[in-house]
Structure 1
Amino acid sequence: MSHTSGAATGTVALGVLSLIVWTLIVITSVKYVTLAMRVTNDGEGGILALMSLLGIKKHKRPVIVALGLFGAALIYGDGAITPAISVLSALEGLKLVTADVEPYVLPAATAVLVGLFAIQPLGTAKIGRAFGPIMLLWFLTMAVLGIAGILRHPQVLQALNPLLGLQYLFSNGYTGFLILGGVFLCVTGAEALYADMGHFGAGPIRVAWSAVVLPSLLLNYAGQTALVVTGTPTTDNIFFRLCPDMLLVPFVGLATLATIIASQSIITGAFSMTRQAMQLGWLPRLRVKQTSAQGHGQIYIGVVNWLLMAVTVTLILVFQKSDNLASAYGLAVATTMLLTSSLLAVAMREIWGWGRLRTTLVAGFFLCIDLAFFLANFDKLVDGGYIPLLLAAAVFCLMRVWHRGAATVLARVREQATDLDAFMQELQAQSIPRVPGTGVFLSRSDEGVPPVMAWHVRHNGALHQHLLVVNVVNESIPWISDHHRLRLQQLRPGYWHATARFGFMEKPDVPAALQQAAAQAPELALADATYYIGYLEVVPSESRDGPPRWQKGLFAFMARNSLHTADFLQLPKDNVVLIGRQVSV
């Protein structure tokens, strides 16, 4: 009887291992590393960059935007859950050394995570140099331990045959289908791999994945399976059982370091995506701190950091064990992957120019797999899977409300723009005195005289001798070259218009951009210029037209608490004049 039971366990273990092996190969290696990384927005990856790239196709923009935004919103849930489950699972390995440490695992994990978020304002540029060697040591250690496990039962290599996995899946009915939810956890980092492409480049990621990460993972999973087949209880922590007892404590320490580094990558990704969303007009302006002069991706956004920390610590205290958190983890990533595949299907047609049949076959293949994983994880909805979905829904709502409200404000401001010829005639008719120097007026439009200039004349009864209107445009590409940064036009004697363009991965710096204007028109004397900004106080309107009142109030709250234009555009504070107006939404 025990022999029959052992044979059954071995068959199940080999079937699950085969599913894991081919999930890693098909999803991560083929879908993401091979296909998705061919679709870049000027080198940037991730679902938001993909949305921006495809959103240029106007006729499909609403659907693409909705898919991309919700996928991006889900990454915030991932950013909270990944550090929690990673650090907790690493420290749980200490329970194999002695059961006495169990009461201390949760406090230790909480302390590690609080410390991780607390050091974010300082940046990780200096210690970041150690990340690569530590992760290399981690994967090599996993590979060696996996090989040691395989030597105990080399027959596990049969799992390289995909038919074993398919046979297990289809012969076990609903139970086999639910197993996919656990199998899926092996590829939850694939979406982050794509999002990090802008930091590391597609080439280095492909080499690291193919030469180090994938072989190490496959060997380690095979080694774990060998332990199961040879009698190790599946209720035990199989991963840490691969390690010899005498090396368990340092191995747990190495695992904790590796999970901290992985968590750091997720947190940095959340900062990067927030900056993208701000520049693309989907989130209010927040203060962005550059933590390293060398790396453009080394940024810190305080609001995002502390909110993520609050959610992460709450998740740890509520779920308490990594196994419990796994239910909340898989559904968020499975949903994001399903949305990414949908956008990739559009990219195959519109960017690569694939035919309908080829696109249907390839995209349909991946969509079917992603849908299967999504449905398998959907079973975990009531066990915690709803948490990242609720977080994503909240972020998605904020993005939609902000974008709609900002568009309404822009329309109100443009309604107040004055025709340039009429404005100049009015200046002459009223004999408005002109004072020496240059006035730089920030505008939200390329057309007409900005309202802030008219307000300035009305209140102060004077105007600078040289007038420069600057319209800042945030583009749907990550970087703008200096050659294309600024376009300067002299529309009238003493009146210039400049368009300053910035990519969604850049921190706008208007004074730096205007150095080109100073070179083209030295008479502007921009070093001593005064900057005029129209400060708009947003108030919810009493009208029943437009969005619900709660959305109007939410937008007004976000507008009041967003970073001021002068700070966002890095204007010299001593040379800035604010002229306020109320605008209702």
Structure 2
Amino acid sequence: MSDAANHEIRPPAGKESAHGASTTKLAVGAVGIVFGDIGTSPLYAFRETFVGHHPLALDQLHVYGVVSLIFWSMTLVVSIQYVMILLSADNKGQGGSLALVALISRTIGKTKYGWLTVLLGVMATSLFYGDSMITPAISVLSAVEGLTVVQENLAPLVIPIAVTLLVILFILQARGTQKVAALFAPVMMVYFVVIAGLGLVQIVQNPGILAALNPWYAVQFFLTDGLLAFLALGSVVLAVTGSEALYSDMGHFGRGPMRLSWFGFVMPCLLLNYFGQGAMITSLDAEAAAQAIQSPFYYLAPEMWRLPLVILATFATFIASQAVITGAFSITHQAMQLGFIPRLSIRHTNETEAGQIYIPAMNWALMVAVILLVLTFQNSSSLASAYGIAVTGAVTIDTLLMAVLLVGVWKWKWWYAAPVVLLFLVVDGAYFAANMMKVPDGGWFPLLIGAIAFTLLTTWARGRKLMRDRMTEVALPIEIFAKSAHNSATRVSGTAIFMASSTGGVPSALLHNIKHNKVLHERVVILTVQIAEIPYVDPDCRYEIHDLGEGFFRAVIHYGFMEETDVPAALRQMEMCGGKFDMMQTSFFLSRQTLLPSDKPGMPIWREKIFSWMLRNAATAMEFFRLPTNRVVELGSQVRI
């Protein structure tokens, strides 16, 4: 597969925006799917700012300062940067770091700085994997810890219950999320209304907390405490974790419904809860405040309602975790299609919705990592030290990509773009720098996962390019081969399709077949699948057919990076290649490459070994292209890179 088609490919009608459902209906759906991560942040964000590794005094200065920081962080990072600006930067309706990189690459990809944009996108993707491991662990654990607020002697049950819930969550992935998703929006709507109501009660009783809307309280916090205020940013940022998910999930709902959900419902509910937590703490005496700050989210509720709140919050964190896991599947699929990850086995859990997929290898790897995190860190406060670095790193990278977007794609004048980019770089950079202070206390984990993922992604992309270059160097022109092979081999009935990674030369499987079997089918099709840098390809631009004569054809099938590569389904629609394809009379020939050491390796030996391992463990083209198992023949070849 090549990374892009060599001509302009348009998306099909209806794919550039959300489906035809009403804006209100889509907005309600977005509440259930998109906002779970940021919606469960009140469970731990406010608490961690005061009881984390750099505790703050429970006085008016610090409570008002923290609440003010949360409000302005949510306004700048989530509302303006993501909801207002980045949701407008869609790649034919799709969002996310890789989609943004593909969008930018179509404009500046040929320039000398194009590689840097791709590198930034791969870095953001790598950090996402660390985030997708920590989010389920901290979310579910923080919810279940509410049991200790209800009754202290339940503390020994927290870890077993959390691990059990997480195991169930990952086991359910194979069944698909359609039925569970029907419950997501109602549960999350109830959750947001409840947390807003709990906060509003406290605000009504202590309206003075509304003064924290004034940014002066955040400024005063910094002027008074300096370094301590800077370190507090590492916990304040937990209130906006999940903001990057808004952008990644845009393709499911569209920017309009998501903006309506955020400004009309989610943001007001979250702010009411955060301001309510602040109002409650300032209204208590020192001893009561010290007890309540250990779990201010649950102390907002009267004692008799805390157990139901624990159950509701657990459901909400379950949903938030589901959204992150689904996001991991989606971003892995995008990375596969764009050539950064080897082929993995993909199962479609819904016959009508292509986006609902299940990747077994990714699912079980995430489950093991999440459970190890829970068993290692033991509580959500410890996990909070590891949380935030991946998110702030990805947000900072998105800001750099946004700078390229504004100037390179949207053609803003630099004097307009510079102040906007500088503002967000200062804000996002400060959050990232504050989180880097948490590296010794657990922040090393997402950085380690990000480094491993980055190494794997770049190694695969580099090795894949080297392998293609080597194969192209020795490739025989297909026109010459077609004429000579016609007279030197016996023709047999049926169709032979030879899968080829490039549109030039003769596939090694075809050369080996004629060398060893000395036969050719009546119709020989050399088929290449190309992935374009847009999410969906117009059906009218799906196929390229070249008749080479003597019964030989070269065909190219184009897909977008969000589409399912189902070759048999595409062939059934393709009649311009010597007639219709009968799968019972068609054989698919695949090449399986074995790497050999090279005298002049194109990359370090250790990376070459990693690439070789990834190549051996990749899903076969038969699985990836959904070829009929009883119609496939594999022929091996050796390549030196």
Alignment TM class, shorter chain as reference: over 0.9
Where does 1:180-259 land on structure 2 (aligned, <5 Å)? Answer: 180-231=233-284, 232-234=288-290, 235-259=293-317
The code of the aligned residue for 1:112 comes to L
Contact 2:167/2:367 (8 A) holds in 1? yes
User: 2-side partners of 1:271 and 1:311: how far apart?
Assistant: 15
Where does 1:266-281 land on structure 2 (aligned, <5 Å)? Answer: 266-281=324-339
**Aligned twin of 2:526:** 469
The code of the aligned residue for 1:9 comes to D
User: 2-side partners of 1:96 and 1:159: how far apart?
Assistant: 28
User: 2-side partners of 1:524 and 1:376: how far apart?
Assistant: 60
2:87 counterpart SS class: helix
The answer on 1:503 being equivalent to 2:560 is: yes
The answer on 1:20 being equivalent to 2:70 is: yes
Query: How far off its partner does 1:183 sit?
Result: 1.0
1:470 counterpart SS class: strand
Cα gap change, 1:451 to 1:7, in 2 (>3 Å)? closer
**Aligned twin of 2:628:** 572
Query: How far off its partner does 1:389 sit?
Result: 0.3
Query: How far off its partner does 1:559 sit?
Result: 0.6
Contact 2:547/2:577 (8 A) holds in 1? no
The code of the aligned residue for 1:16 comes to V
Contact 1:518/1:526 (8 A) holds in 2? no
Where does 1:60-79 land on structure 2 (aligned, <5 Å)? Answer: 60-79=113-132
Cα gap change, 1:510 to 1:294, in 2 (>3 Å)? closer
Cα gap change, 1:298 to 1:8, in 2 (>3 Å)? closer
Query: How far off its partner does 1:545 sit?
Result: 3.0
Query: How far off its partner does 1:493 sit?
Result: 4.0
Contact 1:97/1:249 (8 A) holds in 2? yes
The answer on 1:548 being equivalent to 2:614 is: no
Contact 1:123/1:300 (8 A) holds in 2? yes
The code of the aligned residue for 2:243 comes to A
Contact 1:45/1:198 (8 A) holds in 2? yes
The answer on 1:52 being equivalent to 2:106 is: no
Query: How far off its partner does 1:268 sit?
Result: 0.3
The answer on 1:485 being equivalent to 2:542 is: yes
Residues 290-299 or 223-232, more deviating = 290-299
2:574 counterpart SS class: helix
User: 2-side partners of 1:184 and 1:299: how far apart?
Assistant: 31
The answer on 1:43 being equivalent to 2:101 is: no
Contact 1:53/1:476 (8 A) holds in 2? yes
User: 2-side partners of 1:523 and 1:544: how far apart?
Assistant: 46
**Aligned twin of 2:439:** 381
Where does 1:374-523 land on structure 2 (aligned, <5 Å)? Answer: 374-427=432-485, 431-518=488-575, 521-522=578-579
Query: How far off its partner does 1:555 sit?
Result: 0.9
Query: How far off its partner does 1:379 sit?
Result: 0.9
**Aligned twin of 2:211:** 158
User: 1-side partners of 2:224 and 2:573: how far apart?
Assistant: 69
Query: How far off its partner does 1:312 sit?
Result: 0.8
User: 1-side partners of 2:448 and 2:146: how far apart?
Assistant: 31
1:579 counterpart SS class: strand
The code of the aligned residue for 2:335 comes to A
TM superposition score normalised by structure 2: 0.88
Cα gap change, 1:65 to 1:98, in 2 (>3 Å)? same
Contact 1:83/1:260 (8 A) holds in 2? yes
Contact 1:279/1:474 (8 A) holds in 2? yes
Residues 295-304 or 212-221, more deviating = 295-304
User: 1-side partners of 2:357 and 2:515: how far apart?
Assistant: 41
Contact 1:416/1:451 (8 A) holds in 2? no
User: 1-side partners of 2:343 and 2:482: how far apart?
Assistant: 34
Contact 1:10/1:228 (8 A) holds in 2? no
Query: How far off its partner does 1:8 sit?
Result: 7.7
Query: How far off its partner does 1:416 sit?
Result: 2.9
**Aligned twin of 2:619:** 563
The answer on 1:323 being equivalent to 2:373 is: no
Query: How far off its partner does 1:172 sit?
Result: 1.8
User: 2-side partners of 1:63 and 1:281: how far apart?
Assistant: 17
The code of the aligned residue for 1:568 comes to F
Contact 1:88/1:109 (8 A) holds in 2? yes
Cα gap change, 1:202 to 1:457, in 2 (>3 Å)? same
Cα gap change, 1:332 to 1:524, in 2 (>3 Å)? closer
1:118 counterpart SS class: helix
1:74 counterpart SS class: helix
Contact 1:466/1:524 (8 A) holds in 2? no
Cα gap change, 1:7 to 1:72, in 2 (>3 Å)? closer
Contact 1:486/1:516 (8 A) holds in 2? no
Cα gap change, 1:133 to 1:414, in 2 (>3 Å)? same
The answer on 1:92 being equivalent to 2:142 is: no
1:534 counterpart SS class: strand
Match of 2:319 among 241, 257, 261: 261
* Aligned sequence identity (%): 40
The code of the aligned residue for 2:132 comes to G
Consecutive unaligned residues in structure 2, runs of 5 or more: 1-55
Q: Deviations over 1:338-393 (max 9, x none)?
A: 01100011001122111111111101110110011111111111100110000000
Q: Deviations over 1:89-109 (max 9, x none)?
A: 111111111111011111111
User: 2-side partners of 1:134 and 1:223: how far apart?
Assistant: 21
User: 1-side partners of 2:614 and 2:475: how far apart?
Assistant: 25
Q: Deviations over 1:255-279 (max 9, x none)?
A: 0000000000000000000001111
Contact 1:518/1:525 (8 A) holds in 2? no
**Aligned twin of 1:169:** 222
User: 1-side partners of 2:591 and 2:229: how far apart?
Assistant: 62
Cα gap change, 1:527 to 1:359, in 2 (>3 Å)? farther
User: 2-side partners of 1:356 and 1:282: how far apart?
Assistant: 32
Cα gap change, 1:523 to 1:345, in 2 (>3 Å)? closer
Query: How far off its partner does 1:449 sit?
Result: 2.8
User: 1-side partners of 2:464 and 2:105: how far apart?
Assistant: 19
Where does 1:295-314 land on structure 2 (aligned, <5 Å)? Answer: 295-314=353-372
Query: How many pairs does the alignment contain?
Result: 578
Contact 2:354/2:564 (8 A) holds in 1? no
User: 1-side partners of 2:87 and 2:328: how far apart?
Assistant: 19
Query: How far off its partner does 1:524 sit?
Result: 6.0
The code of the aligned residue for 1:405 comes to G
The code of the aligned residue for 1:93 comes to G
Residues 92-101 or 288-297, more deviating = 288-297
The code of the aligned residue for 1:577 comes to V
Query: How far off its partner does 1:157 sit?
Result: 0.7
1:217 counterpart SS class: helix
Where does 1:125-136 land on structure 2 (aligned, <5 Å)? Answer: 125-136=178-189
Query: How far off its partner does 1:523 sit?
Result: 6.6
Match of 2:344 among 275, 279, 286: 286
**Aligned twin of 2:639:** 583
Cα gap change, 1:165 to 1:461, in 2 (>3 Å)? same
The code of the aligned residue for 1:437 comes to G
Higher relative contact order (CA 8 A, sep 6+): 2
1:119 counterpart SS class: helix
Contact 1:538/1:560 (8 A) holds in 2? no
Query: How far off its partner does 1:538 sit?
Result: 2.6
Contact 1:79/1:266 (8 A) holds in 2? yes
User: 2-side partners of 1:341 and 1:562: how far apart?
Assistant: 33
The code of the aligned residue for 1:480 comes to V
**Aligned twin of 2:171:** 118
Residues 281-290 or 401-410, more deviating = 401-410
Contact 1:418/1:451 (8 A) holds in 2? no
The code of the aligned residue for 1:388 comes to P
Match of 1:141 among 191, 194, 198: 194
